[in-house]
């Protein structure tokens, strides 16, 4: 495989920066890396392999000659520009929600459904961060004992709302400690010393788009179109890493020890479950790590053949940038950087 020409759209954002960092860290085969963002970031410098990259405005022409384009900007940008990249012969790995539920766009967590990549027509979507943290724990259990019902409540970090949101959390925290009135713009209310049962936007029926994604994306990735999934997504005053309390109903009885053994063997998952020594996954410990951590594994007291567990992952790494890079690595490994089917019309 020859080295690739790569572009990153949204290069100055929390996830885009992490994509660039991981491309370097994982020695991704590149001959050129283009850092693209909105016109406001034109000229910004980003450190890269001892030197730096200059950010340019993301425009259709910028994709000419690119083999692979990572989109780590908002959904509107992906909606507009991803088809332009595909038209110019690139394969797109999209971190936004723009294409995730489009039928001919694979939605992939490589440890779970890498094979879906083979069906791509130019765009492959990477799931929502909360969905990834959930499914890394659920999919291995499901393979052993089909899951029939999922209830999940999240404890999501500020960084899910971007770089500015982390800064806002710290500023609000300082202001509160100094008895000043904290201000908010990245969040709908003050997040410091508070919890907000509101991540993203409210859609119909009282659910947020984040909660709806957790249901819809879980069903698509696991190929279980009717799986009942109920989520409450909550923002907590943590800078990085999402935690989730999960309750699942399985088809057959399972002991916590059996579940631990299954998860211990699952790629990308680390079991941290020794409550006698206060060992369980923690947001602070998971930050900067590639794996998803699972603990507090026990019989659920309200569901038939039920399990309760606690899962934590770095939402900027496996929850976002790392998963996108892993998708790209699969594209390279499976030699399917060019779309398998005719592309263009479906995405334009």
Binding site for a second copy (CB under 8 A): 149-151, 153, 155, 170, 173-174, 177, 188-190, 193-198, 202, 205-207, 215, 228-232, 234, 236-239, 243, 245, 247, 256, 275-276, 278, 280-284, 295-303, 306, 308, 310
- The two tokens of residue 220 are 């698509």
Backbone angles phi, psi at 292, to 5 degrees: -100, 135
Is the Cβ of residue 102 or residue 230 nearer to a second copy in the bound state?
230
Is the Cβ of residue 113 or residue 173 nearer to a second copy in the bound state?
173
Note if 142 is an active site residue: no
Angle subtended at Cα 76 by Cα 64 and Cα 121, rounded to the nearest 5 degrees? 55
Least distance from C-beta 123 to a second copy, angstroms?
A: 28
Backbone angles phi, psi at 344, to 5 degrees: 110, -80
CA dist 202 and 207 (Å) reads 6
Catalytic residue among 56, 120, 142, 242: 242
Q: Are 295 and 273 in contact (CB under 8 A)?
A: yes
Backbone angles phi, psi at 52, to 5 degrees: -150, 160
DSSP state of 311: E
Q: CA distances (Å), 254 to each of 49, 51, 141, 220, 223, in order?
A: 48, 53, 10, 25, 22
Which runs of consecutive H residues, i.e. helices, occur in 117-267? 129-144, 163-177, 209-221, 256-265
Q: CA distances (Å), 203 to each of 78, 95, 198, in order?
A: 21, 21, 11
Strands 306-313 and 229-232: unpaired
Least distance from C-beta 100 to a second copy, angstroms?
A: 18
Catalytic residue among 129, 142, 233, 247: 129
Is the Cβ of residue 67 or residue 216 nearer to a second copy in the bound state?
216
152 beta partners: 231, 246
Least distance from C-beta 320 to a second copy, angstroms?
A: 19
Is the Cβ of residue 126 or residue 159 nearer to a second copy in the bound state?
159
Least distance from C-beta 196 to a second copy, angstroms?
A: 7
Least distance from C-beta 241 to a second copy, angstroms?
A: 9
Is the Cβ of residue 15 or residue 152 nearer to a second copy in the bound state?
152
Note if 242 is an active site residue: yes
Show which residues are catalytic: 129, 242
């Amino acid at each position: 495989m020859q080295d690739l020409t790569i572009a990153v759209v949204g290069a100055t954002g929390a996830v885009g920066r992490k994509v660039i960092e991981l491309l370097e860290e994982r020695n991704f085969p590149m001959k050129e890396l283009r850092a693209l963002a909105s016109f406001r970031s034109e000229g910004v410098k980003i450190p890269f392999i001892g030197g730096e990259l200059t950010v340019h405005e993301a425009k259709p022409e910028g994709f000419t000659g690119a083999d692979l384009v990572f989109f780590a900007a908002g959904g509107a940008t992906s909606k507009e520009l991803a088809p332009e990249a595909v038209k110019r012969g690139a394969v797109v790995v999209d971190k936004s929600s723009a294409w995730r539920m489009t039928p001919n766009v694979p939605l992939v967590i490589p440890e779970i459904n890498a094979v879906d990549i083979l069906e791509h027509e130019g765009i492959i979507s990477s799931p929502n961060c909360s969905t990834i943290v959930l499914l890394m724990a659920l999919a291995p259990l499901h393979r052993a004992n089909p899951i029939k019902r999922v209830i999940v409540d999240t404890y999501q970090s500020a960084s899910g709302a971007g770089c500015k949101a982390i800064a806002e959390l710290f500023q609000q925290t300082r202001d509160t400690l100094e008895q000043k009135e904290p201000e908010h713009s990245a969040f709908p209310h003050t997040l410091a010393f508070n919890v907000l049962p509101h991540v993203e936007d409210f859609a119909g029926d009282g659910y947020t788009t984040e909660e709806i994604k957790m249901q819809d994306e879980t069903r698509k990735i696991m190929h279980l179109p009717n799986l009942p999934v109920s989520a409450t997504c909550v923002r907590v005053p943590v800078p990085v890493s999402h935690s989730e309390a999960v309750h699942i109903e399985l088809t057959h009885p399972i002991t916590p020890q059996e579940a631990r053994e299954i998860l211990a063997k699952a790629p990308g998952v680390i079991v941290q479950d020794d409550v006698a020594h206060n060992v369980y996954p923690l947001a602070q410990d998971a930050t900067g790590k590639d794996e998803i951590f699972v603990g507090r594994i026990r019989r659920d007291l309200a569901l038939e053949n039920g399990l309760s567990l606690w899962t934590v992952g770095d939402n900027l790494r496996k929850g976002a940038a790392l998963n996108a890079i892993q998708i790209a690595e699969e594209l390279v490994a499976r030699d399917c950087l060019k779309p398998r089917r005719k592309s263009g019309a479906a995405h334009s």
